[in-house]
A and B are shown apart, each in its own frame.
Chain A
Amino acid sequence: MAEITQIRTAAETGLAALFERLKGGLPGDVAVREAALSGFATMGLPHRRVEEFKYTDLRALMRDAAHPAEAPSPDETTKAFAEAKAFAEIDAARLTFVNGHRAPHSSELPAGIEVVTMPDAMASGHPLLGFLNAVAIARGNPIYDLNTAFLADGVVIRVPAGLAVERPIHLRFLAAASAPFSTATRILVIVEEGASLTLLESHEGRDGVAYQPNDVIEFVVGDRAKVAHLRLNAEGSESLALSTVTAKLGAEVVFNSLNVVVGGAASRHQVFATFAGEGTNARIDGANMLKGRQHSDATLVVDHAVPHCTSREMFKSVLDDSSVGVFQGKIIVRPYAQKTDGAMKSNALLLGEGATMNNKPELEIFADDVVCGHGATCGALDADLLFYLKSRGLPQALAQSLLIQAFLGEAVESVEHEGARESLIGVIEGWLAARG
């Protein structure tokens, strides 16, 4: 039951005012934006008394509503390109966003792929936009709705039926401004029947700037298509990073989505996946490496609406210092979704004395012929394993690193693209090396 709350925080007042000011200039149908914001108008930003935000109080985390950034100057763009490191060694077709604005792209896109910019698509009422908001369980989510209301840039990518794209597409999000700003980007990826795609997505930003990205990527995957989505959050140290992945999966699809988090002062990554066809196999993984006072939330809902699908979720959190990890995972098995096989795992390693892990793995099951389970653990590094390694001559720090790496490795080892896997292992090694 909705409790009516007065809009009262600076961020809430700011967001409402910002919307009034901007809405006339944003592309597309303003009524859609207003409808998306109606929940916000009555509820405000979600806070800890809202069950889904119990452990990530957005009202407390978002102190001010940052203004969207102006389009960056060519100099700024050039500099940002030069500083971008994520997945840089991988041969990929790159689409880059600087401060939430699409930059002129330099690399050739794979042949056969259709790309339309989101503002153009919205202005012209492009038919592919019919695939937006395809996942029902994401609708009404406050972060997703805010993105819909403020959506300013993005692209629509269509991989036509049967096309196997060998070279990955790399979506690069770079935050280059030195003053606070917000973004609202939306990527719509339509992978048609029998096609395949590897999509890399990276987010990098400057430390010390309190920027607020809100990015959404929506997958609509046709029958027998194959998608690998690898996302890296290396946002700046003061950013509040909100992100959402939605996926509507056809029959006999193979869908993998992995999110690796090392950046952001606070981040929340949401995944909403719906099985719309039988025989599909989805794997949703995450690896969080946090230190200092970082806060990272992984929230996912996997909706088994049809029979004979398999889902695997594995989330690994390594929490140093006073960092806070949150995992909220829910597997829903609808009536008639018989023969569902779902398994969800969240494991946390608490390295720092002040670290906190909040785990909420949920099962919601309405069909009887299913095999579903979840496991959650949290604790320090196993003392016996540490001793074993040390007894073989490994110094404490090295023994710890080896065990942490093995712990995190489970989440990245399923990455098929070798370069991307190496790259993510490099991120893990880099994080461990910085830890000292």
Chain B
Amino acid sequence: MIEIKNLVVQIEDNRILNGLDLKVADGEVAAIMGPNGSGKSTLSYVIAGKEDYEVLDGEVLLDGENILEMDAAERAAAGVFLAFQYPLEIPGVGTMTFLKAALNAQRKARGEEPLSTPELIKRVNAAGEVLEIKRDFLKRALNVGFSGGEKKRMEILQMALLEPRFCILDETDSGLDIDALRIVSDGVNKLRDPGRSFLVITHYQRLLNHIVPDTVHVMSAGRIVKSGGKELALELEANGYADYRQLAAE
């Protein structure tokens, strides 16, 4: 599915990623954990194609194809989805308008026919039900006036609708209370599929009780410093990141 080789990235002369290597197989749920400032969010932005970052070296291969030359929209059409840590509010753009524009742009890029509006509404409503999103939310401007939890649920709704192959969840648990966390996690778990992989970025272990990962990677100073199974997350919870800062420094 996705393979990252020796990724070196800087922003305004600050080196953030330092030769990062990572593989996520088809159907795998991989978690990345690490202290603040270790480069987790940068990694998610670089995969999704944010322009502020300078890639000095390395490759990001999606099914063997390097996506670094594509712009963000092309990557999305290729199946990359980023659930933002801080989803943006877009005043004046209706949620349905946005969902329709996004879905049909991706379909068009893949050479598919646009979806009819009734079909779209059906799909959106179905996804909304799972995520307990009230219908009148869909009538508002995108994310405007939504609470933190509502925004996160809207991200997962988009994920469900757009059916990406590779999903990045950037600190999706931040700002969620326990009920919202459960709803969001259920939404994600429903989307688990042999043909779809996930990269779950989180600072805390608690999200991983709900979305149980196949593999856990520890990131520090812009590199993956340790990889293991789901038990690694528990170990981190108990011992903290201090040892890994040491590892990264070496």
A and B found bound together: yes
Max chain B Cβ within 10 angstroms of own Cβ: one of A385, A395, A399: A395
B4 interface residue per 8 A CB criterion: no
**A406 proximity list for chain B (CB < 8 A):** 90-93, 141
In the complex, what distance in Å separates the CA atom of A394 from the CA atom of B52?
19
On whether the beta carbons of B92 and A394 are closer than 8 Å, the reply is no
Q: Which residues of the other chain, B, contact A384 by a CB distance below 8 angstroms?
A: 88
B128 contacts the other chain (CB 8 A): no
Q: Are B49 and A391 in contact (CB under 8 A)?
A: yes
Partner of A391, one of B76, B92, B93, B101: B76
Point out the residue from A396, A399, A410 that lies within 8 Å of B91, measured CB to CB: A410
What residues of B have a CB within 8 angstroms of the CB of A383 in the complex? Answer: 51-52
Contact across chains for B158 and A392 when beta carbons are under 8 A apart: yes
- Of A384, A391, A398, A399, chain B has the most CB atoms within 10 Å of the CB of A391
B92 and A385 contacting across the interface, CB-CB below 8 Å: no
The residue among B49, B52, B84, B88 with the most chain A CB atoms within 10 A of its own CB is B88
Question: Could you tell me which residues of chain A, from 381 to 402, have a CB within 8 Å of some CB in chain B?
Answer: 383-385, 387-396, 398-399, 402
Which A residue sits closest to B75, measured CB to CB?
Answer: A391
Q: How far is the CB of B80 from chain A (nearest CB, A)?
A: 8
Which residue of chain B has the shortest Cβ distance to A390 in the bound complex?
Answer: B72
Determine whether the beta carbon of B71 is less than 8 Å from that of A394. no
B90 adjacent to A390 (CB under 8 Å): no
A403 at the interface (CB under 8 A from B): yes
- Assess the A395–B73 pair: CB atoms within 8 A: yes
B71 proximity list for chain A (CB < 8 A) = 390, 396
Cα distance, A399 to B71, chains bound together (Å): 13
Chain A contact-residue range equals 20 to 34
CB neighbours of B162 from chain A (8 A)? 392-393
From A393, A396, A403, B106 is in contact (CB under 8 Å) with: A393
Contact B101 A387 (CB under 8 A): no
Contact across chains for B91 and A394 when beta carbons are under 8 A apart? no
Residue in chain A with minimal CB distance to B84? A388
**Interface flags, B97-111, vs A, CB<8A=1, else 0:** 110011101100100
Number of contact residues on B: which range applies?
20 to 34
A388 contacts B76, C-beta separation under 8 Å: no
Q: For residue A26, give the distance in angstroms from its CB to the closest CB of chain B.
A: 47
Which chain B positions have C-beta within 8 A of A387?
A: 48-51, 72
Task: Give per-residue flags for B134-170: 1 if the beta carbon is below 8 A from chain A beta carbons, else 0.
Answer: 0000000100000000000000001000100000000
Q: Which residues of B contact A388 (CB under 8 A)?
A: 84, 87-88, 90
Interface status of A409 (Cβ within 8 A of chain B): yes
Instruction: Tell whether A407 is near chain B: CB-to-CB under 8 Å.
Output: yes
- The residue in B52, B75, B103, B105 that gathers the most chain A C-beta atoms within 10 A of its C-beta is B105
Alpha-carbon distance between A393 and B99 when the two chains are bound, in angstroms: 10
Q: How far does the Cβ of A385 sit from chain B's closest Cβ, in whole Å? A: 6
Residues of A within 8 A of B90 (CB): 385, 388-389, 403, 406
Bound state CA distance, A387 and B76, in angstroms?
11
Q: Does any Cβ of A come within 8 Å of B201's Cβ?
A: no
Q: CA of A403 to CA of B76 in the docked complex: distance in angstroms?
A: 18
For this complex, 11 residue pairs linking A to B, each with C-beta atoms less than 8 Å apart, are: A387-B49, A387-B50, A388-B88, A391-B82, A392-B106, A394-B101, A395-B109, A396-B73, A402-B97, A405-B93, A409-B92
Binding site for A on B (CB under 8 A): 48-52, 71-73, 75-77, 80-82, 84, 87-88, 90-93, 97-98, 101-103, 105-106, 109, 141, 158, 162
Top 6 nearest A-B pairs by Cβ distance? A406-B92, A390-B72, A393-B76, A393-B106, A392-B102, A390-B73
Given contacts A391-B82, A394-B73, A402-B101, 17 further A-B contacts (CB under 8 A): A383-B52, A384-B88, A387-B72, A389-B102, A390-B73, A391-B50, A391-B72, A391-B80, A391-B84, A392-B98, A392-B102, A393-B77, A393-B109, A395-B105, A395-B109, A405-B92, A410-B92
